[in-house]
Structure formats: structure tokens, C-alpha cells
Amino acid sequence: MVSFNDNIPHIHPTKLLEKMKDESVNVIDIREPYELEQLPFAGARNIPMNILIMFYTEFLKEGQTYYIICHHGQRSYQVTEFLQKRGYDVVNVIGGIDLVN
């Protein structure tokens, strides 16, 4: 179980889906490709966790907000914390895509 740091911003997946209806948002799905086949999340860009962590400067632009999602929310929390420490504006999608269905 992940203990949540109060400095990490979070959003519930259903609130993210509502937000996506009204505006363009940068959603990064950090699951592996085989996970996407089982449970896709429309509108998200897939960058697997290990790739994003190694090459985040190539994928992310400063000054933009990124919503990080995974299956249950544990990996997205870790990646959100990692990116926030490097100065990026990131939001963890708490509970992951599992809470959407």
C-alpha cells in the first residue's frame, strides 16, 4: 500500500473524465501495452512507467500539467512524486483506471 504525501495533487478518475469533456488535458497512461488491451483509457497517451522515468525530459514540457494514470494508482503515485521532485506540474489519478469501471 502506498502512503500518500500531502504535497502530491490527486484527482479521482471520474473527475478527470469530466474535466476531459470540457477541456484538453495531458493524460499519460503509464501502464504496459498489454494492460491497455485489457482496459483502455481513451484520450491518454501511453508511455510505460520505466520509459517515462528514464526519458521524461524528452516527453514532458515545463509549464504544462500532466495527469498520470495507471491501473490501481500505486505506480502513478510513484511517477507523480518522481516528476514533481523534478519540477513538473503533475497530478496523480488516485485509484487509477480501476475506479472508472
Give 16-57 pLDDT, tens digit per residue: 999 999 889 999 999 999 888 877 788 899 999 999 999 999
Q: State what percent of residues in the chain have pLDDT above 90.
A: 71
Query: What proportions of the chain, in percent to the nearest 5, are helix, strand and coil?
Result: 40, 20, 40
**Which pLDDT tens digit goes with each residue over 81-100?**
999 999 999 999 998 887 77
Is it the case that residue 78 has pLDDT exceeding 50? yes
CA geometry: angle 98, 27, 38, nearest 5 deg: 40
pTM given for the model: 0.90
CA–CA distance, 63 with 66 (Å, rounded to integer): 10
Is it the case that residue 4 has pLDDT exceeding 60? no
Is it the case that residue 1 has pLDDT exceeding 90? no
Selected from 3.40.50.300, 3.40.50.12140, 3.30.930.10, 3.40.250.10, the CATH number assigned to the domain covering 10-99 reads: 3.40.250.10
Could you tell me the residue ranges of all domains in the chain?
10-99
